[in-house]
Chains A and B, each alone.
Chain A
Amino acid sequence: MIRHLNDQELASATAGFPLAPEQQAHLEGCISCRRSVDHFLDQVNERRRSIGREAPDWDAQTKKIVDALPLTQVTHINSRRRWLTPLLAAAATITIVVGIGLIVQRTGPASISSSRSEIEIEEILAQADSLLADEGIPGFDMFDDMTDDDLTALFEAKNS
Chain B
Amino acid sequence: MMTAVRHQPPLDEQQLVEKARVGDREAFGTLVTRHQRRIWLVCRQYVGSDEADAASQDALVKAYTRLDAFDGRAAFVTWVTRIAINTCLDLLRKRRREGLRVVENDCDGHSPILEIPDDRAGPEEQARQRQTIARLKEAEAELSDRQREVFRLRFYAQMSLGEIADSLDVHIGTVKTLLHRAVHRMRRELGDIR
In the bound complex, how far is the Cα of B61 from the Cα of A74, in angstroms?
12
Chain B, residues 133-159, CB within 8 Å of chain A (1/0): the string is 101110000000000000000111010
In the bound complex, how far is the Cα of B179 from the Cα of A7, in angstroms?
14
Q: Which residues of B contact A116 (CB under 8 A)?
A: none
Q: Which residues of B contact A68 (CB under 8 A)?
A: 57, 61
- The reply to whether the CB of B76 lies closer than 8 angstroms to some CB of chain A is no
B57 & A61 in contact (Cβ 8 Å cutoff): yes
* Interface hits, A1-38 → B, CB 8 Å: 4, 7-8, 10-12, 14-15, 17, 36
In the bound complex, how far is the Cα of B40 from the Cα of A64, in angstroms?
14
- The reply to whether the CB of A160 lies closer than 8 angstroms to some CB of chain B is no
Given known contacts A47-B132, A72-B23, A15 and B183 CB-to-CB distance under 8 angstroms: yes
A66 & B132 in contact (Cβ 8 Å cutoff): no
- The reply to whether the CB of A76 lies closer than 8 angstroms to some CB of chain B is yes
Contact size range, B: 35 or more
Q: Which residues of B contact A73 (CB under 8 A)?
A: 20-23, 64-65, 67-68
Chain A residues touching B, majority SS: helix
Q: Which residues of A contact B67 (CB under 8 A)?
A: 73
- The reply to whether the CB of B3 lies closer than 8 angstroms to some CB of chain A is no
Q: Which residues of A contact B53 (CB under 8 A)?
A: 56, 61
- The reply to whether the CB of B118 lies closer than 8 angstroms to some CB of chain A is yes
A76 & B69 in contact (Cβ 8 Å cutoff): yes
- The reply to whether the CB of A51 lies closer than 8 angstroms to some CB of chain B is yes
- The reply to whether the CB of B66 lies closer than 8 angstroms to some CB of chain A is yes
B116 & A50 in contact (Cβ 8 Å cutoff): yes
- The reply to whether the CB of A142 lies closer than 8 angstroms to some CB of chain B is no
B176 & A17 in contact (Cβ 8 Å cutoff): yes
In the bound complex, how far is the Cα of B131 from the Cα of A47, in angstroms?
11
Chain A, residues 54-79, CB within 8 Å of chain B (1/0): the string is 11101001101110111011111010
In the bound complex, how far is the Cα of B154 from the Cα of A7, in angstroms?
20
Which of A8, A11, A43, A53 neighbours the largest number of chain B CB atoms within 10 Å of its CB? A11
B192 & A51 in contact (Cβ 8 Å cutoff): no
- The reply to whether the CB of B109 lies closer than 8 angstroms to some CB of chain A is no
Q: Which residues of B contact A76 (CB under 8 A)?
A: 65-66, 68-69
A residues touching B (Cβ–Cβ < 8 Å)? 4, 7-8, 10-12, 14-15, 17, 36, 39-40, 43-44, 46-51, 53-56, 58, 61-62, 64-66, 68-70, 72-76, 78
13 A–B pairs (Cβ distance < 8 Å), ordered by A: A4-B194, A11-B184, A15-B154, A46-B132, A48-B155, A48-B156, A49-B118, A51-B44, A56-B40, A69-B64, A70-B64, A73-B22, A73-B64
Q: A43-B136, A66-B29, A69-B61 are in contact. List 14 more A-B contacts (CB 8 A).
A: A4-B194, A11-B183, A11-B187, A17-B176, A36-B192, A44-B155, A46-B132, A50-B129, A51-B156, A54-B44, A61-B57, A62-B36, A65-B57, A70-B64
